[in-house]
Amino acid sequence: MLYPRSFFALQLAFAQRIATRFSLPLTDALRHYTTFAVSLTVEDTWDAFAHAFMHASDPLELTYQVYAEQAANEPIPTPDDTLFRGQPLFGCFYYAVRDTTIINPHFINNDRPGLRPLSHARQSARRDELRRMVLHIRETMPTATIVAGHSWLYNLPAYTRLFPPSYTHTMVENPDGVLNQMVLWYQCYDRFWEVKPAIADELLRRVEQVAHLADLRLCFPYQRFRTRAPIADFYEYYAIDG
């Protein structure tokens, strides 16, 4: 399975602090400010899960049992895979298509074991993966005109330097605080979905500093950025001839 128990333990600790600070039912904090509903695939049966959770002798163990039942066959990508969730996979990158014209690139930590995927030593490997991905897009998605990104990873120079300057120079912070999806939570985990202690400690500490529920996104050290550029800039940057 993909997630260890610590994946849920961190989010439970976050929800407990929110519930205490803002006088919320714990299950409401879990539903709206963690990925429990999505990760457990209980969005449509949340009330039943919440009832069982509040009456469980070990709520974390119950959570993991529910996850195990739902995700026993969830695939874990490997560096040699060519598909991930039905999409073409290029090492650490895959993409989604919106409205046949907009490409959304996605990154996963799918490097060889023991390697740091965004380290200086792995920059050439990442650029090669991106070049292969963009070439694939050119060959299979001739209607694509824009590349649009949305991730906390754009905070990291090691990530942004993989892309054309025109793409990363237009970044703007997204003020929307969506915590019930993985977009901000990714930064809290390593490639094996174990908790990163320093970021987790900072996340939990900041709960005590937030004055409003609407500002809970600021508990996360890195915020999300949106960016976009013409796909022609990618063809030029990766030297893909017309």
Average pLDDT of adjacent 10-residue blocks, the chain of 242 residues: 90 98 98 97 96 98 93 79 92 95 95 92 97 97 96 96 95 88 94 93 96 95 96 96 69
Quote the pLDDT of residue 167. 97
Q: Which secondary-structure segment (H or E) carries 165?
A: helix 165-168
Q: Which residues contact 51 (CB under 8 A, 6 or more apart)?
A: none
Quote the pLDDT of residue 242. 60
Quote the pLDDT of residue 72. 66
Quote the pLDDT of residue 47. 97
Q: Which residues contact 3 (CB under 8 A, 6 or more apart)?
A: 39, 67, 71, 193
Quote the pLDDT of residue 164. 97
Dmax over Cα atoms in the chain, in whole Å?
63
Tally DSSP H helices, then E strands, for the chain. 10, 7
Residue 186 burial class via C-beta count within 10 angstroms: exposed 0-12, middle 13-18, buried 19 and up: middle
Cβ count within 10 A of residue 189: 20
Quote the pLDDT of residue 239. 94
pTM: 0.88
Rg of the chain, C-alpha, whole Å: 19
